[in-house]
Chains A and B, each alone.
Chain A
């Protein structure tokens, strides 16, 4: 019974997301734009030839994850709350967990949709190759999504109107984007210190490590941070537990 409800709600949600051109643009095509800019403008020819694509593909997957987490998740929750659609769902014999899991899964599908386009383009246009373990990579990506998605849920818990969601989303999204290391920028040391506090930095690092597991030490272009992937996992898990507990405790259905 619960399974059927979950599948039905998830599939309807996902279809609704795909029909929103603005959401599709910002979540899926905006990261692609960054990919093209990075490969053709930001990076030196030498870096591109040395396989920089394999550093940036996982980073841009995290940019998509962040967009889905900080925009799509809170925007839809607040919209559904304000139009009383969440309340309408609660009136049906549907558990709150099913509702939240469905919303989470539909957003994850959105992320996978963007990921597939990005990876295919990366392979065909720039010769990207996956050099890791697919199970480990999936687990790392899932952890990153859960961690960033929980922050999105938290934004939804604290926002009443659509305007707030948009402003908060952008205030969180853009700084994180530029500080995360996903985009090739040289940061002053003090900004790097701030970057070390942000979950997205660890998500980028983790997915980059897991995408390039085989070549970990050999990638010339990117200065890998010292420290192991376990630190990334630890920090992301801490954000996940913290953000999720506060979000669930303060969540309002109407």
Chain B
């Protein structure tokens, strides 16, 4: 990579009384990338990011964000970063236009937001009250507010939680646009699909520790996650038919439902050819490609909950 690091974190520790939420995490975020921070609820993601944003004091370690110390240089740093807070709401009776005007007035410099509003699809909603906006519109407004000071680094925390799949996809393309504007994005999420689709690199956090950090593709390759083929057979298949084929890793059966684990794409093709050769009639065949979700399960031994 060799790009410039815009965020440097070394041995970060954050405690709440006796509970240690962040246990000595180190990483760099490079200029212009979308950096994902994923992990289950309560893993310490938000605590860690709020230390970077200067919202929380930390107990040990070193942090530099845009070359600044988040606490000591807080007022300077706030001008250079944009933040969307997890679960933060605006007053019910504030209009979209007023929210944008208000936040534009809070910063030393602000961008002309009319064009941005158009791009975010909020033009029609400028005179709507906040409580009349849909979940997706509220989140698009929070993106607009995070960008209003033309920040170098933007933090998004659980941006798409609670949104329907369509609204989520719209938000994803907007986040990609933020990156195209040349900004560095730190994206906190517990959706693996989101991290895989958007992020250049992903840090997986569990129990306050960094357990993996790499590109999604490399993370998936390195844990040797398998392809899974599942289907329903018209009649029972004798287990012996699957024996003696090296590309089949594992067979699971429940009634007529089968789930087969194979190593790679070639093995998937081989297996389907085998079904045809054996004249096995099947329906509902799906192929599950290994994903970050599998990486996560492999590394932490648990599934992510919504």
Binding site for B on A (CB under 8 A): 1, 4-5, 8-9, 12, 15-16, 19-20, 79-80, 83-85, 87-94
Nearest chain B residue, comparing its CB with the CB of A13: B91
CB-nearest residue of chain B to A90: B55
14 A–B contacts from the bound complex (CB under 8 Å): A1-B108, A5-B105, A8-B101, A8-B106, A12-B101, A84-B85, A84-B88, A85-B89, A85-B91, A87-B88, A91-B55, A91-B85, A92-B106, A93-B107
Contact A93 B79 (CB under 8 A): yes
B78 near A92 with CB under 8 A, answer yes
Nearest A residue to B145 by beta-carbon distance? A88
A85 lies within 8 A of B88 (CB): yes
- Tell me if A19 and B93 are in contact (CB < 8 A): yes
Question: Are A8 and B102 in contact, with the CB atoms below 8 A?
Answer: yes
B87 contacts A by Cβ under 8 Å: yes
Bound Cα distance from A1 to B88, whole angstroms: 25
Say whether A88 contacts B85, CB under 8 Å: yes
Q: Which residues of chain A are near B87, meaning CB under 8 Å?
A: 84
Would you call B108 and A15 a contact (CB within 8 A)?
A: no
Least Cβ–Cβ distance between B50 and chain A, in angstroms: 9
- B94 contacts A by Cβ under 8 Å: yes
Q: Quick check: B78 and A93 within 8 Å, CB to CB?
A: yes
Residues of B within 8 A of A83 (CB): 88-91
- Nearest B residue to A20 via CB reads B93
Query: What chain A residues lie within 8 Å of B78 (beta carbons)?
Result: 91-93
The total of Cβ contacts below 8 Å across the A-B interface reads 61
Check B85–A12 contact: CB distance below 8 A. no
A12 and B93 contact, CB distance less than 8 A: no
A-contacting residues, B68-85, CB 8 Å: 75, 78-79, 83, 85
Q: Mark B111-141, 1 if CB is under 8 A from A, else 0.
A: 0000000000000000001000000000000
- Contact pick for B53, options A5, A19, A89, A91, CB 8 Å: A91
A10 smallest CB distance to B (angstroms): 10
Residues of A within 8 A of B108 (CB): 1, 93
Residue of A nearest to B76 (CB): A93
Q: Which of A16, A89, A92 contacts B93 (CB 8 A)?
A: A16
Q: Known contacts A83-B88, A84-B88; can you find 16 more A-B pairs with CB under 8 A?
A: A5-B105, A8-B101, A8-B102, A8-B106, A9-B106, A12-B98, A12-B102, A19-B93, A80-B91, A83-B90, A85-B91, A87-B88, A88-B90, A91-B78, A91-B83, A93-B79
Residues of B within 8 Å of A85, CB to CB, are: 88-91
Q: Which of B83, B106, B129: most chain A CB closer than 10 A? A: B106
Shortest distance in angstroms between A82's beta carbon and chain B's nearest beta carbon? Answer: 9
A20 contact set on B, CB distance < 8 A: 93
* B63 nearest CB across to chain A (Å): 16
**Measured CA separation A91–B70 after assembly (Å):** 12
A92 to chain B minimum Cβ distance, whole angstroms, is 4
Tell me the complex Cα distance, A90–B78, Å.
10
Say whether, besides A8-B102, A12-B102, A19-B93, A92 and B88 are in contact (CB < 8 Å): no
Contacts of A80 in B (CB 8 A): 91
Contact A84 B102 (CB under 8 A): no
In whole angstroms, how far apart are the Cα atoms of A58 and B98 in the complex? 35
- A82 (CB) vs chain B CBs: closest residue: B89
6 closest A-B pairs by beta carbon, nearest first, are: A83-B89, A84-B88, A8-B105, A93-B78, A19-B93, A92-B106
How distant is the Cα of A239 from the Cα of B89 in the complex, in angstroms? 34
A94-B88 Cα distance, complex, nearest whole Å: 17
Residues of A within 8 A of B91 (CB): 16, 79-80, 83, 85
Report the minimum CB–CB distance from A93 to chain B (whole Å): 4
